[in-house]
Every structure is written in C-alpha cells, then in structure tokens.
Copies of this chain bind each other. A is one copy, B any other.
Amino acid sequence: MGKRTTIGDVASAAGVSVATVSRVLNGGAVREDTAARVLAAVTSLEYTPNALTRSIFSGRSTTIGVVIRDLSSPFYLDLMRGIDEVASANDSLVMFANSYRLPDREVAHVRTMDEQRVRGLIVTTGEPADSRTRGMTANGTPCVVVARTVADPPPGLHSVSLDNVAAGRLMAGHLAACGRSAVGVVRSGQRQSQVERTAGLGAGLVDAGLPSPAVVEAATEEEVPTAVAGLLEGRPDAVVCMTGRLTVATYQALTAAGRAVPEDVAFLTMDEFTWAAALGITVVAQPSYDMGRQAASLVVEAPAEPVRRVFAPTLVARRSCGE
C-alpha cells in the first residue's frame, strides 16, 4: 500500500516546485502550459490532495459537525437532510454522531467535534453540553442549537426552533373546531418544547371555553400503553401526542384499547411522517427540512450576533379528528 502520492511527487513528475502545484490546484497565477503539465501529472499519478493538511492551515476543517439525539425520529431525519443539502452546496461534509438521548454521549461527541476543528456545530442536545458549546463559540466556531432556545447566548451561538406555543394553540383550535372538548395529552417528559406545546394547547382550549387537558407522560414507547390507559379513564374525546417519536405507540394503544379514530376519539400528533397521509392522521408539522437548512446556513454564514430563528408550525388537517 506504499506511501500515498503527495504534492511533492506531482511536483517532481511535472518538473516544477510544490508551490506551483499548489497554485494550479488553488487557482493562482500560473502559465498555461505549466498548468497543463501539472494537471497531467496529477491525473497520471492519481493525486488526491490531503484535506486534513490543508485545513491545518486555516486551523479549521470544512466539515460541519452535527450531534443528533435520535436519527430515527422523523423530525431529526428531515433536519439532517436539510443540513446535508446546504453542506453539499457549500462543499462541506457533515460529520455526524447520534447521541441516543444520552447526556454523556452528547457531551463526548461535542468534544470530539471540537477536536476535529469543525467549521461549525449543529446540536440538538440538552443543557449539559452547553458549556462546551459556549467555549467553542469563543474560539470562533459557530454553533447552532436546534429545537431549543438558549438563555443569554454569546456571539456565535444561535438557535433554530419551533414556535411551540403556537403549535399547541393550533391543536386547540382544530380540536375545538372539530367539536371536541375533553382533551388528553401524551408527552414524553418535561422537555422545554413539549411543555410549551402543552401550555399552548391549554391556553387555546381555555380561550375556546374548554377545560384544560389531562396530561400523562411516557418516556419510552413501552410506557405508552399504560399511560394511554390512564388517560382513557377520563373518557377523553381527543388524544394529542406531543412528540413524533411516540406517534405509532400512542395510535396503536388507542386502537388496541378498542377506540375507533376518529369516531370514539380524535387523534392529533406532532410532526409530519411518511404514513400520515395514507392513514389520514392529522398532524401539526414542523418545517424540519427548512430548519436544517437554516441551521446549516447559520454555520456557513457565521453571523457575529446571536441569531434566534423561530419557525411557525403548520396544521395538516386529515381525517383523524373527524369533521
């Protein structure tokens, strides 16, 4: 497997100095026939420049780091695609790590990204990683926190998130319009986003003269059946799922309990997903792809002032809430 061909090999093959080779590769002033000789050598030697050594210079790679909590969630998946799209368009690669919602992994991954001297970092992590992220921005690495806002961000630390209160209100409005009144909520925990959505839902319901929703929590899919059973005891005519991750489990718990959707109970959930249209499930969608694009753009453009971009949710009405 020998040594790889270096810029020096190309230089000797073309009978020029390494500086000249570097120039033709990066677009400096070179005489045409010299350039041709160099290019010929590059081709015949199959020379592939070393991006690592290159970035040693700028002190920074061209790679965008992404630490995702859960790749299997439709939201994060589309987010990732949006990021990848912008990265590709800017000749950047995406360096990726999945944290599986484990704080320790999040912190470790963010550190590794820092070691890799990523051009910028996009994280969907929780607070534990924040101190390192702040440190990175101090070193000139733009960071973007997704699906969460950061209190008192330093220059270079941005956020891209959803207007979660609006999402909750959208749900309340639709449910009220569909003539539902006893609303039950399933959520996975106390994450900022879900708490805000629940608050928005509650406020919207009150505005419509309806009672506040009952709330149950299920951290994992396994806990959903029990949680939903608890909810059902209150005889709700609508069940709302506050996170796309629990959509299947919640829907399944409903039908397994013998409740027909939407006849017995309306069903409304977060985040658009592949089967939603086919199943006629109404959702409040996040523009996740655009959010990914925006996050990556913030990395690429690296504005000095902290940017806080809040996206509006959309209601995609289908059959699952009746009417």
Q: Is the CB of A72 within 8 A of B63?
A: no
Chain B residue contacts of A51, Cβ below 8 A: 112, 115-117
Q: Please tell me if the beta carbons of B48 and A56 are within 8 angstroms of each other in the complex.
A: no
* B-chain residues with CB within 8 Å of residue A53 when the two chains form the complex: 56
Asked whether, in the complex, the Cβ of B93 is within 8 Å of the Cβ of A94, the reply is no
Closest chain B residue, CB of each to CB of A135 = B46
Produce 1/0 per residue, A2-15, CB < 8 A to B.
01100000000000
In the bound complex, what is the Cα–Cα distance between A78 and B77 (angstroms)? Answer: 12
A272 vs chain B, min Cβ distance (A) = 12
Q: Which residues does chain B contribute within 8 Å of A84, judged by CB atoms?
A: 71, 96-98
Report yes or no: B71 in contact with A61, Cβ–Cβ below 8 A: no
- A80 x B71 contact (CB < 8 A): yes
A274 in complex: contacting residue of B96, B117, B248, B255, CB < 8 Å: B248
Q: How far is the CA of A112 from the CA of B61 in the complex (A)?
A: 13
Q: Is the CB of B61 within 8 A of A52?
A: yes
Q: Which of B49, B63, B77, B111 contacts A48 (CB 8 A)?
A: B111
Tell me whether A52 and B50 are in contact in the complex, defined as CB-CB below 8 angstroms, given that A93-B95, A96-B95, A97-B93 are known contacts.
Answer: no
Known: A1-B139, A248-B278, A275-B275. A88 touches B81 (CB 8 A): no
**In the assembled complex, how far is the CB of residue A316 from the closest CB belonging to chain B, in whole angstroms?**
16
Q: Is the CB of B49 within 8 A of A115?
A: yes
Residue of B nearest to A70 (CB): B81
Residue A257 is within 8 A (CB to CB) of chain B in the complex: no
Asked whether any CB of chain B lies closer than 8 Å to the CB of A55, the reply is yes
Whether B50 pairs with A95 at a CB distance below 8 angstroms is no
Instruction: Give chain A interface residues in 110-132, CB to chain B under 8 Å.
Output: 111-117
Binding site for B on A (CB under 8 A): 1, 3-4, 46, 48-53, 55-56, 59, 61, 63, 71-72, 77-78, 80-81, 84, 88, 91, 93-98, 105, 109, 111-117, 135, 138-140, 248, 251-252, 255, 274-275, 277-279
Cross-chain contact A4 with B105 (CB below 8 angstroms): no
Contacts of A140 in B (CB 8 A): 1
A278–chain B nearest beta-carbon distance, Å: 5
Q: Is the CB of A81 within 8 A of B95?
A: no
Collect the chain B residues with CB atoms within 8 Å of residue A112's CB: 51, 91, 93
Nearest CB of chain B from residue A5's CB, rounded to whole Å: 9
Complexed CA–CA distance, A52 and B248 (Å): 42
Q: How far is the CB of A256 from chain B (nearest CB, A)?
A: 9
5 shortest A-B CB distances, which residue pairs?
A1-B140, A51-B115, A96-B96, A252-B278, A84-B98
Please tell me if the beta carbons of A4 and B96 are within 8 angstroms of each other in the complex. Answer: no
For the complex formed, measure the closest distance between the CB of A299 and the CB atoms of chain B, giving whole angstroms: 15
In the assembled complex, the Cα of A314 lies from the Cα of B115 at a distance in Å of: 42
Are B114's CB and A48's CB within 8 A? yes
